[in-house]
Every structure is written in structure tokens, then in C-alpha cells.
Amino acid sequence: MSDVLQVEVWRGAATGKFQTFAIARREHQTILDVVTEIQREHDATLSYRFACRVGMCGSCAMVVNGRPRWTCRTRVREVADGGRLRLEPLRNFAVVKDLAVEMTQFFDKWKAAHGYFEPGPRPAADFAVVPPASPERQAADAGIECIGCGVCYSACDVVAWDEDYLGPAVLNRAWTLVNDVRDRDTDRLSAISGSDGCQACHTHMSCTSFCPKAIAPTYAIGGLKRMVLRRAWRGTP
Ligand code: SF4
Ligand code: SF4
Ligand code: FES
């Protein structure tokens, strides 16, 4: 194993080129460690984003050797075939600069899909008791640990074809909320059922394969599709 990594890093925005850095290989080194070393020791103008470094905030995602990943929890030894790394910004996002992408459209879609808890006009005075074994609680719990990293969105071919498609992360969030028995939103299914909503998903499974939190947006989207169909059969507007 070579003790030096050859790291190609995207420099620029929509147009640009790769710049190669030689970085010492270290035990337990993560991809984020490599990017940080480049910025601190080689080129202070390199732009990238991170916050927590422990897999909580979702801000460090990039494309690493062709695949979107969270970089703070990805060790170099898992991905650096032959001591080479190619780091690119997430796909399906506009690039601000280098490895930093613009997340506004992603979070605007979150809002459009009512991806927030709605307590209703008179929120309950006490804590709700939601049995852990109930099917609704189980469905919501399966998707609740999303950190909003955008890895699934970057991996989704339908987002690449149709930039208005809501995408897997937002639809997964909607699924957790429609299964939250405390939530009082009555329009969420309408918000996610248009031509750019859950019906547009082609069930490619890329989102589910790549999610670093082992969430399965594909199954959440399948659940939303069934819910929307059931509502249509019943004639509910
Ligand atoms: S579903 Fe997974 S991949 Fe998608 S934003 Fe959430 S944590 Fe990231
Ligand atoms: S399963 Fe659906 S949302 Fe997930 S990557 Fe495929 S098309 Fe996109
Ligand atoms: S830096 Fe927060 S998830 Fe990686």
C-alpha cells in the first residue's frame, strides 16, 4: 500500500477542472480529514462544508470516487482503490464553489412537501402516548433519523431528469409525518402527490442503497403511493 494518496479535487463551479494533491496516508483517516488537510496545508482557498464530524449534521456529503457519501464517516481505506481519490461536489445540486453545493432548492422542496410537524390550532396540553409497537410508529421510526445530507437526492436519476421532482429525502420525511398520529396536517398528501411527487419515483433504489443512515426512502415512497391511491379510490379530494 502506497503511503501517499493522489487526490483529485474539483475546483470551480459549473465549469472548472480537477486539481491533484499528494496527501500522506494515515491510519483511520477519513475523507473529510483528507479534504481538511488539503485546505489547511496546501490551498486555503478550497471550499467545502462540514460541521459536526460525527455523522449528525449532514453537511459534509460529496461524491467520492463516483459515489455520493458522507465524508466524515467514510474512511479512506474503504474507498481509495490503488491510493487514488476523486472528490466532486454532490450531483443534482448547483455548485457554489469547489466541493460546496447550494442546498436552497433541496430545502424549498422540504417546505413544499409540508416536511414539518403540524400541531394543529390547539396543540395537546400533555405529551402524547404513541405505542412503540404500533404500525404507524414503526413506519415513522424507520425514517426519522434522516440528517438531510442530500446523498439520496444526489444519487437519484429522476431528480437528474426532472429538477422539480421532490426527491427521496423530502418524501421520506413526508412519510414519517403522515404516520405521526399527533400531526394535524390535512394537505400533505396533496402536496406530495402531483406529477413531481411520489408517483414520479421509478423505484431505482439508488437512494436506499446509498443512504448513510440505512434509511429506505424507496419504501417510504411506496407507502405514500399506496396512501395516495387509497385516498383517490375513496374519492377524498
Ligand atoms: S434519507 Fe438518508 S441519504 Fe437521504 S438525506 Fe436523509 S440521511 Fe441523507
Ligand atoms: S427509488 Fe425513487 S427516489 Fe429513490 S433513487 Fe430511485 S427514483 Fe429516486
Ligand atoms: S460533518 Fe456532520 S455529518 Fe459529516
Rounded to 5 degrees, φ, ψ at 7 are: -115, 115
**Which protein residue has the closest C-alpha to ligand 2 atom 8?**
156
CA torsion angle for 196, 201, 202, 208 (degrees, to 10)? 150
Rounded distance, CA 92 to CA 159, Å?
7
Strand partners, 30: 75
**Which protein residue has the closest C-alpha to ligand 1 atom 2?**
211
Provide the whole-model pTM: 0.95
Q: How many CB atoms lie within 10 A of CB 89?
A: 26
Rounded to 5 degrees, φ, ψ at 9 are: -125, 135
Cα 105 to chain centroid distance, Å, stands at: 13
Q: How far is the CA of 169 from the centre of ligand 3 (A)?
A: 17
Rounded to 5 degrees, φ, ψ at 134 are: -65, 145
- Averages of pLDDT over runs of 10 residues in the chain (237 residues) are 91 97 96 98 98 98 98 97 95 98 98 96 88 96 98 98 97 98 95 96 96 98 97 78
Lining ligand 2 with CB less than 6 A are: 155-156, 158, 168, 201-207, 217-218, 221
Q: Would you list the DSSP string of 27-89?
A: TT-BHHHHHHHIIIII-TT-----S-SSSSS---EEEETTEEEESTT-BHHHH-GGGEEEEEP
Model pLDDT, residue 236? 62
Lining ligand 1 with CB less than 6 A are: 146-152, 168-169, 172, 211, 213, 215, 217
Mutation pick for ligand 2 pocket among 204, 210, 211 (CB with most ligand atoms within 8 Å) = 204
Ligand 3 within 6 A of CB of 70: yes
Model pLDDT, residue 237? 54
Rounded to 5 degrees, φ, ψ at 226 are: -65, -40
Ligand 3 within 6 A of CB of 58: yes
Model pLDDT, residue 124? 81
Model pLDDT, residue 1? 63
> Quick one: 169 exposed, middle or buried, by C-beta within 10 A (0-12, 13-18, 19+)?
buried
Residue located via cell numbers 395516495: 228
Model pLDDT, residue 125? 86
Residue located via cell numbers 467514510: 74
